[in-house]
Structure 1
Amino acid sequence: MEFAGNTLSAVFWGLLVLSLLVAVHEGGHFLVARLCSVRVTEFFLGMPSRFKLSRKSRRFGTEFGITPILFGGYNRICGMESCDDELLADVLMHIYRTGSVRVADICQAFPVDGDRAHAILTTLADWASIRMVEGEDKDDPAFNTIPRDAALLCEYDAGHDGAAISAHADGDAYELPVSADEFLESERRHVYQGIRFPKRLAMLVFGPLVNILFALLVVVFALSAVGVDTGSTEPVIGSVHAGSLAEQVGVLPGDIFVRVGEYGISDWHDISDALDVLLAAGEDFDIEVSRDGAGLTLHVDIPEGEAVDLIGITNTVSKVRLPVGEALSAAFHYAGQVARFALRLIDPAHTLETIGQSSSIVGMSVIASQAASTGLFDLLLVMAAISMSLGFMNLLPIPPLDGGKILFEVIQLAMGRPVSIKVQNIVSYIGLALLLALFVFVLRNDLIRYVM
């Protein structure tokens, strides 16, 4: 029963903490995408699944929801994959004149084969310029127009006219007041690949950055508002453990130790030092205490033949709240430690050592559960640690992490041309394989450490 209870607690707190931090991370990407006028069609907690609970925002057009596979989350930001087919503009204009097409229709209207037609249509669907609708034949979906207002804005665009859009339906045909090239360029400005490098970089960086900023705020709040339980150095008894030697001789919470054996007491360190000497000697001794203003002598009878290391007392504990400046300094110092730890992962001299000290989702869930059982302060610090780790780890230059995407963006900027999709896919598959191997190794360590 205890194992089952601990497991349920770990699952609950793990999912709660990780879901919150994933929402923070993806929220960073979403916020910058919207500020850059880039379309975001989906924002989900959990990995993609046919089973989901969701609601579409009338303001953003974005579908917000949750899936049962709560091991992450995602934004579907339009135009993450590059495609510069010369027929994009003409095909897009053709679709809006007809309302709805299939791959065969494009092959008939343009000199392209099925694969190229499908690539063009899926690119336009990825841009949210059209909508793919699966029918009975999933291998041959329809591609429909989406409602537009007079400025040709759709439901995903900032400043769209909701009333005008509501007057139209998917699959309506339009006679557009612009040329095919002008329409395509207006659409391109609303997708990731169509915005400039600084904005793309900001979109990628802001997810991990928000995790780090969130962690800093949580640490500052924990240290300055919640406060740290700090043991007092006064020789006052805070608590007496049940069944302990101190309880047996009559020590009570609130007693002030005046003398232990032949040792005079002025602070808690004196108590600790005196007990270490007297208990190691194994001889009986007296404790002089002040209780309610009156002196009292208690006799400690050491059981014969038994080694006693502790008598079962603790000092008083008080909340210490740091000034915001000190708390912020401590938070930045901790961030530096986490950043150095993350960098050690890609340092061949320390990679294995760092992996051995890392935790998977299992370890993080157990740690979160243990922290929650001890109090709000510990839970906040664990949440901050996980958030900061997610942030810095995601900045590592390993595809498909955000840092890997940033690396590709920098390389493309230096080359002055895009890295081919084939090369990006190969490198991403290698990076994914490395991350999966890392996950399996760390998961094995966690299972041994916390389960077996």
Structure 2
Amino acid sequence: MQTVISIILVIGVIIFVHELGHLIVAKRAGILCREFAIGFGPKLFSFRKGETLYTIRLLPLGGYVRMAGEDPEMVQIKTGHDVGLQFNAEGKVTKIILNRKKKLSHTETLNVQRIDLEHDLFIEGYNAEEELVRYEVDREAVLVYDNQEMLIAPYDRQFGSKTLGQRAATIFASPLANFILAFVLFTGLALSFGVPSEEPIIGDVLPGSVAEEAGLEQGDRILAINQKAMDSWDELVRTIMHNPGRELVFVVERNNEEFELTITPAVREHELESGEQIGFIGVHQHVEHSVLGAFVYGFNYMVELSTLIFKVIGMLFTGAVGLDALAGPVGIFDFTGQAAQAGLPILLRWTAALSVNLAILNLLPIPALDGGRLLFLALEAVRGRPIDPQKEGLAHFIGFALLMLLILVVTWNDIQRVFFN
């Protein structure tokens, strides 16, 4: 049960932060955000705050912010429709009732002849006396259909009405939010547990380990192994890993004194895919506690992880690695469960890594992803005019279909790896 809760929280937090980036910047740009959704499919829970409906949906495979103008409006009023109207004290229409389940008081019935709810904001038609009348529509008027209310979206509240910069910022805000989440988590871990030192200095020594039996202590600096100078922690780790079961002479500095220790790295019970055995002595990396160092570490680690992810993506495109190197929803859930069982620090580090992954994948210039939408905005900037909406919509549809196909293939690989290996 704890594992399931951890998976829900980790995935939920990453998706929430991602979509929150869209929402915050869109609202600051004056875009009407109709819905903020975590997940897809049927609604499990919803509430309305202001002009936005907040929902949690059944399938935890993503989320979305439904902004006015991005998709065709779900409710359209055509010529000849009978609607009910409600007015405010100034005589402007505040409610347009399309499908009345019950009779509402203080309404006027109108047979619509012309209507503009985007630019001029008016509705014109024949009233009960068959007189042609015209009414102004309030900017915050609502459409009522099956007793569900939806705000109208004047053109200046729609996504497409905003400047190129505002639209790009709204789209880019989500990957940026995921980078910020990763930075906060990595920095928080460094503040809590310390910043790993790059110096070849011993941190904790595991009880009963080879290192303890040989006499190594916390704070010891390893100057050399078998007469080879150790200039960094990574070099120290590589030397030990590559010499399982071999006697090594360590030159150790402790309290400004140098001495030698002979240590034989133990051999791990499991092997690498290459079959090469790994040596270990049972020590942890030395950590330093520094506020500034924690912030620097959080940023640098995020950059290093991002660089690694880009390298892997490049290897996918060049064929250096196959699709079996990718993890889909099943693999992510499985790894998240393993991280949860390993403890909170590992789970938080895994959450940060997932957040970076989501940010980078969404920035790829593939239709249906944030990067694809940014690509179309870049083309608009070069051409001086937008791409035809139908052509862009078709490209996003094809991109989404191919993305779903990729997810199915990767998920099948996950199922085989998790359940049949």
Same fold (TM over 0.5): yes
Out of 204, 214, 218, the residue aligned to residue 171 of structure 2 is 204
**What SS does the corresponding residue of 2:66 show, helix, strand or coil?**
strand
Residue 29 (structure 1) aligned with residue 26 (structure 2):
no
**Mapping for residues 35-434 of structure 1, pairs under 5 Å:** 35-49=28-42, 51-57=43-49, 60-81=50-71, 99-101=96-98, 109-110=112-113, 152-153=139-140, 187-227=154-194, 238-240=206-208, 256=215, 314-315=282-283, 319-321=287-289, 323-324=293-294, 326-327=296-297, 328-342=299-313, 345=316, 347=317, 349-350=318-319, 353=321, 355-434=323-402
Question: Partners in 2 of 1:393 and 1:197 — Cα distance?
Answer: 23
Partner letter of residue 324 of structure 1?
A
Q: Hey, what's the Cα distance between the residues in 2 that align with 1:239 and 1:333?
A: 32
With over 3 angstroms needed to count, the CA separation of the structure-2 counterparts of 1:35 and 1:314, relative to structure 1, is same
Letter of the 1:405 counterpart: R
Amino acid at match of 1:55: F
Distance 1:10 1:278, change over 3 A: closer
Structure 1 residue 45: deviation in Å? Answer: 1.5
- Per-residue deviation, 1:236: 9.1
Give the Å deviation of 1:52. 2.2
Query: Aligned pair count?
Result: 336
Moved more, 332-341 or 226-235: 226-235
CA RMSD of aligned residues (A): 4.9
> What secondary structure sits across from 2:397 in the alignment?
helix
Distance 1:277 1:153 in 2: 73
Deviation at 1:210, TM superposition (A): 0.9
Distance in 2 of aligned mates of 1:392 and 1:229: 25
Quick one: distance in 1 between partners of 2:64 and 2:243? 60
Structure 1: give runs of 5+ residues left out of the alignment: 1-7, 112-119, 131-147, 156-168, 172-183, 259-265, 282-308
- TM-score, with structure 1 as normaliser: 0.59
Instruction: Indicate if the aligned counterparts of 1:233 and 1:267 stay in contact, CA closer than 8 A.
Output: no
Q: Cα 1:255–1:24, aligned 2, differ >3 Å: closer, same or farther? A: same
| Cα displacement (A) at 1:359 | 1.1
Counterpart in the other structure of 2:407: 439
- Aligned partners of 2:62, 2:385: CA distance in 1, in Å? 32
Alpha-carbon contact 2:243-2:278 (below 8 Å) kept: no
Deviation at 1:15, TM superposition (A): 2.2
Structure-2 change in CA distance of 1:239 and 1:48 (3 Å): same
Q: Tell me the SS of whatever aligns to 2:390.
A: helix
CA contact (8 A) 1:233 1:268 kept: no
TM-superposed deviation, 1:203: 0.8
Residue identity matched to 2:363: L
- Where 2:35 maps in the other structure, the secondary structure is strand
Contact 1:41–1:63 at 8 Å: present in 2 too?
A: yes
Quote the residue 1:451 is aligned against: 419
**Map of 1:306 onto structure 2:** none
Q: Against the structure 1 CA distance between its residues 195 and 223, is the aligned structure 2 distance closer, same or farther, given a 3 Å change threshold?
A: same
Q: How far apart are 1:429 and its partner, in Å?
A: 2.5
Larger relative contact order (CA 8 Å, sep ≥ 6)? 1
Contact 1:220 1:331 in 2 (8 A): no
Q: Distance in 2 between matches of 1:339 and 1:30?
A: 27
Structure of larger gyration radius: 1
Query: How many Å separate the matches in 2 of 1:368 and 1:385?
Result: 11
1-structure distance, mates of 2:244, 2:379? 69
Shift of 1:371: 1.9
User: Residue 368 of structure 1 aligns to which amino acid in structure 2?
Assistant: T
CA shift for structure 1 position 14: 2.5
Shift of 1:377: 2.6
Q: Which letter does structure 1 place at the counterpart of 2:139?
A: L
Quote the offset at 1:315 in angstroms: 4.1
CA distance in 2, matches of 1:79, 1:36: 14
Residues in 1 aligned to 2:280 and 2:169: alpha-carbon distance in whole angstroms: 56
Higher share in helix:
1
Deviation, 1:154, is 5.6
Asked if 1 retains the 8 angstrom alpha-carbon contact of 2:302 and 2:356, the reply is no
Aligned partner of residue 8 in structure 2, secondary structure: helix
State whether residues 31 and 158 of structure 2, in contact with CA within 8 Å, keep that contact through their aligned partners in structure 1. yes
Query: Structure 1 residues 324, 425: closer, same or farther in 2, change over 3 A?
Result: same
Question: 2: distance between equivalents of 1:330 and 1:397?
Answer: 24
- Matches of 2:417 and 2:148, distance apart in 1: 54
